[in-house]
Chains A and B, each alone.
Chain A
C-alpha cells in the first residue's frame, strides 16, 4: 500500500431500500457518504436510531451492497464479507452449542494462514485478553450477557481481521457492565491496534471510545459533523476521563447536535406516517 492510499476509504456511498409492502415509498437510508479511516483508528458512528449508520457499517463489512459508491480496504475494493472484516452484533451471536473456548476457537476455524497448534494458541490468547479464562469450559448460555459479548469479541479477533465492525455491541447490557466493557475495549484496542468502526446512539459511549466521531443526520444519513476527540479531550482515556471537564463539554456539544437530529427524524416520521417502516437500525427489516 503506498503512502497515499488510506487504510479504509468510503467513497460516495448511497443506499436505498425497496419497501416490502406495496404502496410504500422506497427508503433512502444513506446519501453520498465519504470518509477515510487510518489503520488503528477507532471511529464511532453516532446517530439517531434507524438513521442508516448500521447499514453503512454493513456495507463496509460487505454484508450489504451500496447502490452507488465504493469501499476500499487497504486499496482493495470490498465486494463481499470475508475474514478481513470482523463483525460483532448487538444480539448475542456466540454459539450456544459451543463452550466459551470453543466459540473463540471457532474464530480460527477457517484460517489458512496458521496451523492447528497456532490456532489453539491464538484462541487461548484472546480468551485471556477478554478475561474469561475461568469460564473457558462453560456453555455460553450459562454466562452473563456481558461475558457473551466478550466471547463474541474474542471470537472475531481470533479470526485475525484487519478491521472490527461493531454494531451497538453493548446496547443490550446494563449500565455498569457497559462501562466496564467500554473500558475493556479501549484496553484491547491499545494492545491489538486494529481499526474499529463502532456504531452507537449513546453519546457518552461515543465520546469515551472514539478517536473520531462521525455524527449522522436523520435518514437519509449524511455526516453532519466530524469530531477528532483528542482535539477536545487530551490525554489517555481511562475511567476518570468521564469525570473531566473537557469530556463534559464535548459530551454536551455532541448531545446538542444529536438532539436536533432526533427532532428531525421524529418530524419526518410523523409526516410520512411510516412510524415503523425501515425498523431499528435501518438494516433490520429491509436488509435481506
Chain B
C-alpha cells in the first residue's frame, strides 16, 4: 500500500513541475505544425515518396488521409520524444538529491527499493501519458482533419498499402511497442539519475547514449553488425513492423525481448546503486 502512496506522491511531484508540461506542449506544437504543413502542401511530400512508382503507375483514391498523417507524425516525432521523456524522468532521483529532499524522503517508513520502484512506476505512467497524448493528436486529430482512408507505407522492401479497416489495430499495437521502447528511455534515465546529484547530468547522459547508439545503429559498417542487434535504439523503431505485410511477429517479439532485457538491467543497476547510495552528503 505504501508503494502505491509513494507512486501517487511521485506523480504529484511530476505534475507540479513545469517541465513535465514541456513535453506535452512540445508534442502539441510539433503535431500542430506537421498537420498544418501537410494540410497546406502534403501532396508534394507524397509525390516525393511515390515519384519512383509514378513513372509507371498512378494512384487513385485519397492517398493523403488521416492514417498516413498519423504515420508520418509518429515517424517524425518518435525520434524526439526520448528527449521529452528523459527531461522529466532523468530528474526523478538526482533532482531530489540536488534539492536535498532525498535524505528526508529516505527517512519515511518505506524501503529504498519501494521508493525507487515507485519512481520507476511514476516515470512509466508519465511516459504512457506522453504516448497517449501523441496517439490522440496523431490518430484522432489526424483522422478528424484529413479523414480516414487506406494507409500507404514505404518500407525498404517497397510499398505496402493497408486497407482502412485493417489500420486501427495496427496503430494500437504500434503505440504499445512505442511505449515499451520509450519506457526503456525512462528506465535508463532513472538509472543514470541514481548516479548523479544534479538534474542535468542524467538527462544529457541519456541523450548522449541514445545518440551514440543511434549512430552505431545507422552506420552501415560491418564491424558494428555483431553489437547492433543488442542496442535498444535498434529496436526503438519496432513499432514500424506493425505496418508491414506480412507482419514480422518474430522481429517484434525479438525487439520486445531485447527491450525487456534492457528494462531488467536498468532497474537492477538502479536498485543496486540506490541501495548503496550515500544520501548523507
User: Is chain B a partner of chain A in the same complex?
Assistant: no
